[in-house]
Amino acid sequence: MAIRGIVKYPDLTLKQACLPVTAVTGETVRLIRDMVDTMYAAPGVGLAAIQVGVPQRIIVVDIDVEQPGKNLLKLINPEIRRAEGEVTWEEGCLSVVDFTAEVRRAARVEVVGLDDREREVKVDAEGLLSVALQHEIDHLDGKLFIDRISRLKRNLYTRKLKKMLRTGKPLRENPRLMI
């Protein structure tokens, strides 16, 4: 088990577009294993490779906090093939500490990618899983959820952040929201 450090906003590492994986090597498998360990330890329900400083198109997602591992998704070069509907979800991010905000995304997505044995994976997702997949794929394009909120909500963040700094108390965090 190896837990890696999570890169935090405003580190510019998080802004870079990640490269597709061209070959799944032992190193890739180790990276994915470490990403899974890091996600569970955080705790969070999703993690992108760039969040541990590796600019490759790899994500892990497990929204089932009751039975961790049972529905774990490990996706290499994930792509959204289809998106429909609209949903607003309160999101947080392991790389954006002490902040959550409502973000509007597609309600349902079909995501395709490869697993760590280079088998094709297709996921039809809705609810939190759909949100988590879109959130993680955003990370691969250098995008954070705070890039998707209104100026009004960003201002709210600033106020919360100032309050946090003033009181020295971190805001409440809900592990279910950390993706």
Per CB under 5 A, residues contacting Ni ion are 93, 179
The DSSP annotation for 129-167 comes to: HHHHHHHHHHHHTT--GGGGS-HHHHHHHHHHHHHHHHH
Which listed residue (66, 102, 136, 173) is catalytic?
Answer: 136
What is the C-alpha to C-alpha distance for residues 35 and 73, in angstroms, rounded to an integer? 11
Compute CA 28 distance to the chain's CA centroid, rounded to the nearest angstrom: 18
- Nearer to Ni ion among residue 32 and residue 93 (C-beta): 93
For tokens 């790899």, what's the residue? 58
- Reply yes or no: is the peptide bond before residue 10 cis, omega within 30 of 0: yes
In angstroms, the CA 91 to CA 145 distance is: 7
Nearest distance, CB of residue 167 and Ni ion, angstroms? 25
> What token pair was written down for 126?
């809705």
Rounded to a whole number of angstroms, the minimum distance from the CB of residue 118 to Ni ion is 25
CB of 135 to Ni ion, least distance (A): 5
Q: Which is nearer to Ni ion, 119 or 140 (CB)?
A: 140
For Ni ion, the nearest residue by Cβ is: 93
Active-site residue flag, 84: no
Residues annotated as part of the active site: 136
